[in-house]
C-alpha cells in the first residue's frame, strides 16, 4: 500500500502530539512499568516485518525476514508479559488473578 506523503506526515505529527499528551502526572513507581509498556507498543514493528516476509524472495531475503519477524515477536510477547509481571507487584490487595498472561 502506498500512502500520500502529506497524509503520512500528518498522521506522524498528530501521533507525536497524542504521545506527548497521553503521559500525564505519572507517579515515580510507575515509571519503569510505563517504559516497559511503551517498549511493547513499538513491538508493532512485527506487523511490518510480517508484511516484508510476504514479499520476500531468495534465501537471504528469507533469513532477514525471519530474524526481523522473530525479533519483533520477541519484543511484543516478552514486552507485554514482563510489563504484566511488573504491574502484578503493585497489586496490594489479592484480587482474582484471572487476567493472567497479557500477550498472544
Using CB under 8 A as the binding rule, the residues of this chain from 29 to 58 that contact other proteins are 29-57
Among 17, 93, 94, 96, binds other proteins (CB under 8 A): 17
Residue 96 makes contact with other proteins by CB under 8 A: no
User: d(Cα 69, Cα 55) in Å, to the nearest integer?
Assistant: 13
The CB-of-10 to other proteins minimum distance in angstroms stands at 10
- Helix ranges restricted to H, 31-57: 31-41, 45-54
Residue 94 makes contact with other proteins by CB under 8 A: no
Residue 83 makes contact with other proteins by CB under 8 A: yes
Residue 28 makes contact with other proteins by CB under 8 A: yes
Place of cell 508484511: 51
Residues 81 and 102 sit within 8 Å (Cβ to Cβ): yes
What is residue 88's three-state secondary structure?
Answer: helix
The CB-of-94 to other proteins minimum distance in angstroms stands at 14
The CB-of-27 to other proteins minimum distance in angstroms stands at 7
Q: Which of 48, 41, 44, 42 is nearest to 1 (CA)?
A: 48
Amino acid at each position: 500500500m502506498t500512502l500520500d506523503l502529506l497524509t503520512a506526515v500528518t498522521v506522524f505529527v498528530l501521533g507525536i502530539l497524542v504521545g506527548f499528551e497521553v503521559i500525564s502526572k505519572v507517579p515515580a513507581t510507575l515509571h519503569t512499568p510505563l517504559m516497559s509498556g511503551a517498549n511493547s507498543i513499538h513491538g508493532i514493528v512485527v506487523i511490518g516485518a510480517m508484511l516484508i516476509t510476504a514479499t520476500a524472495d531468495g534465501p537471504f531475503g528469507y533469513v532477514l525476514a525471519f530474524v526481523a519477524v522473530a525479533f519483533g515477536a520477541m519484543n511484543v510477547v516478552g514486552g507485554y508479559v514482563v510489563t504484566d509481571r511488573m504491574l502484578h507487584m503493585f497489586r496490594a490487595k489479592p484480587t482474582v488473578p484471572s487476567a493472567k498472561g497479557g500477550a498472544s
